[in-house]
Amino acid sequence: MHHNDFQKQEGRLFTKSFFVLLALVLIGAVLIGLRFTKGLGAVSNMSDGFPWGIWLAYDVATGTAIACGGYTVAILVYIRHNMHYHPLIRSCVLTSMFGYALAGLSVMVDLGRPWNVYNFFIPSRWQLNSVMFEVAMCVMTYTLVLIIEFLPGILYSLETSEWRRLRAFANWLHPALAPDQEKLSGLIDKVRRTAGVIRPWLDKVLIFFIVLGITLPTMHQSSLGSLLLIAATKLNPLWHTGFLPLLFLVNCIYIGYSVVILESLISSYAFKRPYEVKELAGLAGIIPWLTVIWLGIVFGDLAFRHQLSAAFRLDFYSGFFLAQVLLVLAGSVLLFRARNRTSPRWLFVSAVLIVLGGALYRFNVYLIGFDPGSGWRYFPSLAELMITVSIVAFEILGYQILVKLVPVLPRIHMHGHGKPHGTHHIENKAPATKGLPDGI
Amino acid sequence: MDTNIGMRSELSRRDFVKGCVTLTAFMGLPHALVGKVQETAESDRRLPVIWLHFQECTGCSESLLRSSHPTIASLILDKISLDYHETLMAGSGEQAEKSMHDCITANKGKYVLVVEGAIPTAENGIFCKVGGRTAVDSLAAAAKDALAIISIGTCASYGGIQAVPPNPTGAVGVGALVKDKPIVNIPGCPPNPYAFLSTVLYYLTFNKLPALDALGRPKFAYGRRIHEHCERRPHFDAGRFARAYGDEGHAQGYCLYQLGCKGPVTFANCPVQRFNDVGAWPVSIGHPCIGCTEPDILFKTSIAEKVQIHEPTPFDGYPPVDTGKKGKGASPLTTAVVGLAAGVALGAGAMMAKNLPDSAAASKDKKNP
């Protein structure tokens, strides 16, 4: 790992958005508590017909696709060996880590009998033909891999940080509670030394985890599509096809790149950093080709199955199908123009369109196009939605805190001129320089 | 049991009562009402009926002629007063027309109009004329004072084979022309005569028309799919299919789904109330259902075309698994919150897009002029 590619974001931890997000997280925590004390029915609208609600459709199926930034950028950096994308990787891995860990948490909230979950860790009880087993195994392992991939950053900051926040906190505490200064320094020293021992060792074995980190999502992202193969009579024929695994895989890759663009633009905007236009333009050049392949498979398959007329019937299902196609198409058409690929505004608009379209595809497959039989209906309850919202809020909160504690974001003066380099970065608007830390 | 009672000329008391029990069950009425249905069947009250034929093959009338409880003879003579039926009446020409006219004037608002066949509308309806009048005019005249209209057969209900594109005669069903009268559709090619007889008996017993589905068909006869009652359903559930006519599976009586059976999407009770009083129906003799009661299937999809099963329903012989609880829909509060959040997200996205610099050059110029 090239630690000089990254830097910490300066600034206060406890901002206004911190408290708003924290409030949302706490509401969700209370509701999750309610779910475990009063049962699923108390908080969710799920039923026998719709045992998979918004938690599965969003948090697992869509959330992990949105968390595919780490996977997709890893493909570019470590397989295509495009090292100039390397500065993006740590923030991508961070979002992926939160996305996957929280997808796992959602499954735990969603499971009807969570106390049976220990069976998962007993190999003799594994059902190796089950797609769901593969997804569960991969998501869990990949979460672990992502944590390990992110560990060098944490170890690095443990080792080099001055621990100012901790010292300030110790000083702020009542003298009776405050630990002895010397003892604290000794403790910090010990942690630093341990981190210093682990880090070089981890750097050596890290490539193994990076390989795993590319293999696992390829496996389970396609399996998320395979999960619905069994629902041949329930999933509308617009979406049910033998190509579901391939469609899900390609879908997650272009969502992944689009999310990397969004995440980079939003964090540049929020933290008033220069925009990483050059790297993003490179990603944006890949996306439309992926979506064209994807749309080609979608329509080719529909034609092959004689379902094209159903796609243009303009009923409920065809409406959602066309919305999904048009969103992805509109975003891709924008990105085919080279000028738009270097414009933060149009990068943002097209990435939003593609993420929305790609996510709608997953919603269509998991919820909207899913009809378990006449009379069944499902719309998430408010409590159910709030749990999902709180999980998203937790992701943003965690990202916001960790980028300030650990060097995650790309280093601004990568090119060594002491100030932001004009050719590769677009300066953020007016207040930008104010927010930039001294010495950069 | 001798199921061939239709071949006998006399109807025994025992068979008559059995017939009434069948019809009561057929209409989905509780067993306690058998007496009432029987009373109606025995009573002397006669319902005036005018039966018009347009573009059709008379198959529906033929099918009705083969019913035996009650027989068509007892139906015509005792239960209804069939004042005009082009195939069955003895009279012809002016005499027949007069009989219809008399019935309409004498029973204003009290007679039932039965229509068999589609009505041509193209070129002023010249494709079908009886007594110098077009079908459109005859229908309008007869429908004006009718108590209710029964469209018997798929042609009268939805246009049938005449209405299949290119539809040169502009054929339509009764429902497309008559809007101000209650219409009961008894589709089928031909329909089961008991669906018609039960509708008539239902009206005579309760003085109202039976409950209808969205396509205007009595729910008691068209409320469930063929697939739910089919005797070959266990083969379907077990995955045993006939793959070609005359193959091993076909000879074994396996499910005909792969041969294009439309049973899974066709609403009718053919497997339960069979035809010709001999216990036969198409699937029982090895031919897939062609979906003759469904306007969108008959003549519109090929017989060999396999249908897609969207909403699988269990075989009706199994105990019900439906608990009646079908999940909760959207609550106003949730939709409001979702709408609000979507609006805010859209607005924030638009603001964000507006605030982001449009191009690399533009923002640089601003910074370093």
Q: Spell out which chain A residues touch chain B, with contact meaning CB-CB distance below 8 angstroms.
A: 45-50, 233, 236-237, 265-266, 269, 275, 277, 339, 342-346, 348-349, 352, 371, 373-382, 385, 389, 422, 426-427, 429
| Nearest-CA distance A298 → chain B (Å) | 19
Give the distance between the most distant pair of CA atoms in chain B: 109
Any domain includes A233 = yes
**ipTM over 0.95 threshold:** no
Provide long-range contacts, Cβ within 8 A and 24+ apart, for A437-440. Answer: A437/A10, A440/A7, A440/A412, A440/A413
Model pLDDT for residues B346-358, shown as the tens digit of each residue: 999 999 888 888 8
Residue A45 φ/ψ, nearest 5 degrees = -100, 15
State residue B120 phi and psi, 5-degree precision.
Answer: -75, 135
Strands B133-134 and B148-152: unpaired
Judging by beta carbons within 10 Å of its beta carbon (0-12, 13-18, 19+), is residue A207 exposed, middle or buried? exposed
- Kindly state whether residue A227 falls inside one of the protein's structural domains: yes
The pLDDT value given to residue B155: 94
Q: Do A426 and B309 touch (CB under 8 A)?
A: no
Q: Do the domain assignments include residue A59?
A: yes
Residues 6 or more apart from A160 whose CB is under 8 A from it?
A: none
Q: Tell me the DSSP string of B188-236.
A: -SSPPHHHHHHHHHHHHHHSSPPPB-TTS-BHHHHSSBHHHH-TTHHHH
- Measure CA of the first residue to CA of the last residue in chain A; give whole Å: 22
pLDDT at A279: 82
Per the CB < 8 Å rule, is B310 touching A371? Answer: yes
Residue among B309, B327, B358 minimizing CB distance to A233: B309
Exposed, middle or buried, A424 (CB in 10 Å: 0-12/13-18/19+)? middle
- In the three-class reduction of DSSP (H, G, I as helix; E, B as strand; rest coil), residue B140 is classed as helix
Element (H, E) at A8: none
- Residue A275, SS3? strand
The answer to whether B335 and A381 are in contact (CB under 8 A) is no
Partner-chain contact A269 B352, CB within 8 Å = yes
Q: Residue A149 domain-assigned? A: yes
The verdict on residue A440 lying in a domain is no
Question: Does the CB of B333 have a partner CB in chain A at under 8 Å?
Answer: yes
What confidence score (pLDDT) does residue A413 get? 55
| Residue B151 phi, psi dihedral angles, 5° rounding | -90, 110
Domain of residue A34 covers 3-435
* Residues in chain A within 8 Å Cβ distance of B265: none
pLDDT of residue B226: 92
Domains and CATH numbers, chain B: 5-222 (3.40.50.700), 224-321 (4.10.480.10)
User: In this structure, is residue A278 part of a structural domain?
Assistant: yes
Phi, psi angles (nearest 5°) of residue A370 = -95, 120
pLDDT digits (tens, 9 = 90+) for B148-201: 999 999 999 999 999 998 999 999 999 999 999 999 999 999 998 888 888 888
Q: What is the pLDDT of residues A199-241, one digit of tens each?
A: 888 888 888 888 888 888 888 899 999 999 988 888 999 999 9
Beta partners for B50? Answer: B84, B113
Whether B207 contacts chain A with CB within 8 A: no
Compare A421 and B112 and report the one with higher pLDDT: B112
Q: Cβ A277–B367 below 8 Å, yes or no?
A: no
Which residue in this structure is represented by tokens 């100012």?
A164
Q: Which residue of B has its CA nearest to A266?
A: B352
Domain tally, chain A: 1
Domain of A225, CATH number, reads: 1.20.1630.10
Residue whose structure tokens are 């944006």: A284
pLDDT at residue B294, as a whole number = 93
Mean pLDDT by 10 residues, chain B (369 residues): 46 76 75 78 76 91 76 65 79 81 86 93 90 90 92 94 91 93 93 86 86 93 91 92 94 94 93 84 94 90 85 74 77 90 92 82 42
Q: Say how many C-beta atoms besides its own lie within 10 A of residue B79's C-beta.
A: 22
Tell whether A271 is covered by a domain: yes
pLDDT tens column, A127-169:
889 998 999 898 889 999 999 988 888 888 888 877 777 777 7
Give strand pairing partners of B203: none
**Per-residue model confidence (pLDDT) at position A427:** 47
Taking the Cβ of residue B43 and every Cβ of chain A, the question of whether any pair is shorter than 8 Å is answered with no
Q: Is A346 domain-assigned? A: yes
Q: Does B90 touch chain A (CB under 8 A)?
A: no
Q: Chain A partners of B309 at a C-beta cutoff of 8 Å?
A: 233
Cβ-based neighbours of A61, under 8 Å, separated by 6 or more: A224, A362, A363, A365, A366
